[in-house]
Amino acid sequence: MDGIAIFVGENTADESATPLEIFQDSKNHATAVSSVLVFSAQSAYFQPASQPPKSLALNFNNFIKKTSTFPGFLLEFNEQGILLLNGSFTQFEEAIRESGPADPHQALVARSLRDMIPGYIVNEDVDEWILSLIVIDKPKDDDTVKFSLITVTLSIGADKSGTAYIPRQSARLGTSVFKVIDGVLVENAEKLSNMISITKVRDALEFFASPKVEYDRKDLGRDSLPQKSFGICEPGSAFPLQLEK
């Protein structure tokens, strides 16, 4: 399993905002989303930057369940589809670009998923892969924050030298788009800020990136990843907070 997260749009979050202000003020809700996503991942023991692929695959569904049951997220789009692949990396990207919801960022989604395909495979016993992409979207001049969870499940082969290739196949594409319910975050700001460590967007992108993915830190600064453990409920259960709706 390989994963990555990207941010699109304009991040209006105040770098000096308190944890309470992160959830109270809608301009900070991109950071609120990144914080909830990391919280959900850690409570599901899903840590892409530090776990081997097999462990990631086992814990991925737990992460999805916790994220999708957070009361402050509204599911707007959910679709499972088939990608008919002819073995070409270019066609793989084109097939994704033509699938999913009407989205101005679909070309970026397609390229990001293509870039996740390994160039070289060491363990040839693994032939089915899950490519996981998280897209956090905060449009310019609009405080509405959305995020997408996108997966491609496909077979990836390797030739005698270990170089990866895509066989002809019917791969599976899953796309879920969630919208942040501002009122839920604002109403429950104190409870959320007391329980969830703040993870800024940049750090969330690193948290969800597989080890082979590296980021250029030029002019971006550095914030600390949350250090406390979030193993507060058993994997497979719903989001571990009851909020006012």
Distance CA(154)–CA(2), nearest Å, equals 12
Number of domains in the chain: 1
Question: pLDDT of 10-36, one tens digit each?
Answer: 999 999 999 999 999 999 999 999 999
Phi/psi of residue 89, each to 5°?
Answer: -65, -40
Beta strands in 121-245 (DSSP E): 128-138, 146-155, 157-158, 164-165, 169-180
Quick one: pLDDT at residue 244?
58
Mean pLDDT of the chain: 85
- The full DSSP string for 54-112 is HHHHHHHHHHHHHHHT-TTEEEEEEEEEEEEE-S-HHHHHHHHHTSSS--TTHHHHHHH
Domain of residue 9, residue span:
2-207
Residue 86, domain member (yes or no): yes
Residue 123, domain member (yes or no): yes
Provide the whole-model pTM: 0.84
Residue 213, domain member (yes or no): no
Residue 240, domain member (yes or no): no
- Look at residue 209 and give its three-state secondary structure: coil
Question: pLDDT of 54-90, one tens digit each?
Answer: 778 789 999 999 999 999 999 999 999 999 999 999 9
Residue 230, domain member (yes or no): no
Quick one: pLDDT at residue 112?
95
**pLDDT (mean) for 116-128:** 77
Residue 185, domain member (yes or no): yes
pLDDT > 80? residue 161: yes
Among residues 33, 72, 41, which one has the least CA distance to residue 245?
Answer: 72
| Contact partners, residue 242, CB within 8 Å, separation at least 6 | 71
pLDDT > 80? residue 2: yes
Residue 110, domain member (yes or no): yes
Cα atoms in the Cβ-side hemisphere of radius 13 Å centred on 232: 14
Residue 228, domain member (yes or no): no
Phi/psi of residue 46, each to 5°?
Answer: -110, 105
